[in-house]
């Protein structure tokens, strides 16, 4: 089965709405791990809208599985990541005005810059993933940067309104996943995945990890983090029939 990495950013979103100390994303991460999550993802944004620097530092100390830091490939974030040394970093695009990440990173336009940045992480022994749209040209470019892994953006698949649109977007994800895998890259997937749409993606045998955040946190508000994580794991286990 694909492993589940739980993004706890939106626990911090609730906390930051009142600029208080709770709910604590670190506690949420611990509960997610206890429920069986294989990793924790956090995004330290440049505007610090949810996860804060302190959260990152403590997460690195307490997360027992894998800590995946999503980040813009800026000098500030690169310096922070090299200092804290998470288990993995994932380069993502970032705009101050966006509600959430709107699409994959345009690797083609900054291939040389990303190659230099990735070299720094390789020298520090930190694996690098790049979050990209299901676009074969972007995958080819990402391969040239020396990235260890690609996370295929499932956003458009998750936003599909009709069965036809869902099928079209799934085929794009499927083609990208298989192409990245054949290119000798570790393949992850995520963005917008929910309890109702994850099964088709989790059944792609080339995907080793799924990153899911908002839907799990939304469910956790009602039933608790441990139950919410277990329910997602049950669906992934149930439908991951691999050949």
Q: Which residues are catalytic?
A: 43, 70, 191
User: 71 pairs with which residues across the strands?
Assistant: 91
Of residues 95, 89, 182, the one with CA closest to residue 143: 182
Task: Give the count of alpha carbons within 13 A of 42, CB side only.
Answer: 31
Query: What does DSSP assign to residue 108?
Result: G
CB distance 211 to 68 below 8 Å: yes
SS3 for 79?
helix
CA angle 54, 90, 198 (to 5 degrees): 105
> Could you tell me where the beta strands, DSSP code E, fall in 97-193?
128-132, 149-153, 186-190
């Amino acid at each position: 089965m694909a492993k589940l990495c739980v993004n706890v950013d939106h626990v911090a979103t609730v906390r930051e709405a009142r600029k208080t100390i709770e709910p604590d994303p670190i506690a949420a991460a611990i509960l997610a791990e206890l429920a069986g999550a294989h990793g924790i993802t956090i995004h330290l944004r440049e505007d610090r809208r949810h996860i804060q620097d302190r959260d990152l530092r403590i997460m690195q100390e307490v997360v027992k599985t894998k800590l995946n830091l999503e980040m813009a490939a800026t000098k500030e974030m690169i310096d922070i990541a090299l200092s804290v040394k998470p288990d993995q970093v994932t380069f993502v695009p970032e705009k101050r005005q966006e509600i959430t990440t709107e699409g994959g990173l345009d690797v083609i336009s900054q291939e040389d810059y990303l190659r230099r940045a990735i070299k720094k992480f390789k020298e520090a022994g930190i694996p690098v993933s790049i979050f990209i749209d299901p676009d074969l040209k972007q995958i080819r470019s990402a391969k040239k940067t020396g990235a260890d892994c690609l996370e295929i953006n499932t956003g458009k698949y998750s936003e599909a309104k009709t069965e036809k649109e869902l099928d079209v977007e799934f085929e794009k994800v499927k083609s990208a996943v298989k192409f990245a895998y054949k290119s000798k890259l570790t393949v992850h997937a995520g963005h917008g995945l929910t309890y109702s749409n994850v099964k088709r993606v989790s059944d792609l045998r080339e995907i080793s990890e799924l990153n899911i955040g908002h839907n799990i946190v939304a469910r956790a508000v009602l039933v608790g983090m441990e139950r919410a994580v277990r329910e997602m794991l049950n669906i992934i286990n149930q439908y991951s029939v691999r050949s």
